[in-house]
A and B are shown apart, each in its own frame.
Chain A
Amino acid sequence: DTGVSQDPRHKITKRGQNVTFRCDPISEHNRLYWYRQTLGQGPEFLTYFQNEAQLEKSRLLSDRFSAERPKGSFSTLEIQRTEQGDSAMYLCASSLAAGSGANVLTFGAGSRLTVL
Chain B
Amino acid sequence: TQLLEQSPQFLSIQEGENLTVYCNSSSVFSSLQWYRQEPGEGPVLLVTVVTGGEVKKLKRLTFQFGDARKDSSLHITAAQPGDTGLYLCAGPMGGYQKVTFGTGTKLQVIP
Contact = CB atoms under 8 A, between A and B. Distances in A.
Given A33-B99, A50-B96, A42 B104 contact: yes
Interface stretch (A12-20, A62-70, A79-87, A97-105): A97-105
Interface string A72-116: 000000000000000000010101010000111111111000000
Interface in B4-40: 4, 6, 10, 31, 33, 35, 40
Nearest to B106: A40
Contact of A41 (B48, B94, B98, B104): B104
Interface of B: 4, 6, 10, 31, 33, 35, 40-45, 48, 86, 88, 90, 92, 94, 96-104, 106
Given A104-B45, A109-B41, A109-B42, A95 B99 contact: yes
A105 B40 contact: no
Which 6 pairs, one residue from A and one from B, show the smallest C-beta to C-beta distance? A107-B42, A42-B101, A42-B104, A103-B92, A43-B101, A55-B96
B37 to A, nearest CB: 8
B41 A105 contact: no
A95 B33 CA distance: 13
Given A48-B98, A56-B96, A43 B43 contact: yes
Interface of A: 4, 33, 35, 40-45, 48, 50, 55-56, 91, 93, 95, 97, 102-110
A42 B97 contact: no
Contacts of A48: 96, 98
Given A103-B31, A109-B40, A43 B96 contact: no
Nearest to B48: A104
A45 B45 contact: no
Contact of A42 (B92, B96, B103): B103
A50 B98 CA distance: 11
B98 A110 contact: no
A110 B42 contact: yes
